[in-house]
Amino acid sequence: GKGWTLTTSVLTLSSTMRTLRTLRKLSRNQPSLARALSTSMVRPVALPRSKTGEQKRGYKMMNFGGTEEKVIERSDYPPQKLKEVFPGKMALLGYGTQGRGQALNMRDQGLDVIVGLRKGRTWDLAKEDGWVEGESLFEIEEAADKGDVIMYMLSDAGQSMMWPKIAPYVTSGKTLYFSHGFSVVFSELTGVVPPEGVDVILAAPKGSGTTVRRLFLEGRGINASCAVYADASGKAEEKSEAIAIGVGAGYTYKTTFEKEVHSDLTGERGVLMGAVAGMFKAQYDVLRANGHSPSEAFNETVEEATQSLYPLIGENGMDWMFANCSTTAQRGALDWAPRFEKATKPVFEELYARVVDGSETQRSLDKNSQPDYHEELQKELKEYADSEMWQAGITVRSLRPERN
């Protein structure tokens, strides 16, 4: 029908930035299509097949800047293989953005998924997404009891607080899954200590749950890392690879629980969000202090970066970006890059040390477990939202051609 025609059109769009803008515009103009993109109403794209019709399998060793690493791709674990690796129930506990995206992606690939939640707003959202109370939607403890694989997708602080109630259901022969090494690596702070006799595995998609879902629906899949903490069955490595593909990865690479959490916490506080936010503000403030208008300061600081340069760097690399700009920009960027590296490297070294020694974990647990945490968080976020820079950003974004 008409709805499926629209859905098919979305799935065949290319992965360029222009296509993504078109997708967003379609979603605004077609509410039913927008809903399809956020739930399981859109069918996953068919997996690659050989000329004989058989789905391709076979791991790859790839060279990453001189180091050979094993890469597992979606074609290595087609849906039938996923069901062979995981024939039982996948009990996903928690339904935040990451949990929601992973649950829907697994369900779309034919796995037997149930969701465990407390009744409330997310419970209602899960029902809207098609999870049926008493069949595929349960209270957290009941879901944990039913699950052959317990997917512990509560927040980091939530995992620590709920572990005494969940631990009795993590029994011998089951598999315990995480998407972040936080709770296990820093178990002396979180209290999360997996018992003997269970496989403990990890798959960590490198993006938000919204992106995990969106890229899966587009037939691409996000990149993810996978790891094994405990191998009671002798099959934990295969499980870690398979579950990464099951939750929506297009490809996955090997890591350890420790390396995943150390790199993840450093990245979030560094170039993924914290450092970028700080540098945006520093440059914007300098431009404003020297008489530049808010619109000019925001465009030269944020808008040009996010809408023009960063996508090109993502597609082609920094070397390509240096080679494909004006000679003035090229010379200036090459000259100043080492100075910024020298200025920021000590900050990153301090950050990494705080991650490894558990200081950042302790701060997260302390802050996130406060009874007034959400109220205080809203105050912090409001400061950003009400600042001149990000208020200017609202106006700048409203002027993008695709929004008119």
Could you list the active site residues? 180
Phi, psi of 116 (to 5 degrees): -115, 125
How far apart, in whole angstroms, are the C-alpha atoms of residue 124 and residue 366? Answer: 29
Paired with 249 in beta bridges are 222
- DSSP letters spanning 262-325: HHHHHHHHTTTTHHHHHHHHHHHHHHHHTT--HHHHHIIIIIHIIIIIHHHHHHH-HHHHHHTS
For the chain, percent helix, then strand, then coil, each to nearest 5?
60, 15, 25
How far apart, in whole angstroms, are the C-alpha atoms of residue 310 and residue 65? Answer: 21
Of 74, 75, 72, 70, nearest in space to 50 by CA: 75
Place of tokens 């009400």: 386
Count Cβ atoms below 10 Å from residue 2 Cβ, excluding itself.
7
How far apart, in whole angstroms, are the C-alpha atoms of residue 96 and residue 106? Answer: 15
Of 341, 19, 301, 119, nearest in space to 293 by CA: 301
Count Cβ atoms below 10 Å from residue 79 Cβ, excluding itself.
16
Phi, psi of 137 (to 5 degrees): -135, 120
Of 181, 229, 186, 180, nearest in space to 209 by CA: 180
How far apart, in whole angstroms, are the C-alpha atoms of residue 234 and residue 230? Answer: 9
How far apart, in whole angstroms, are the C-alpha atoms of residue 366 and residue 326? Answer: 48
Paired with 71 in beta bridges are 60, 253
Give the pair of three-digit tokens for residue 404. Answer: 């008119």
How far apart, in whole angstroms, are the C-alpha atoms of residue 397 and residue 308? Answer: 13
- Helix or strand run (H / E) with residue 56: none
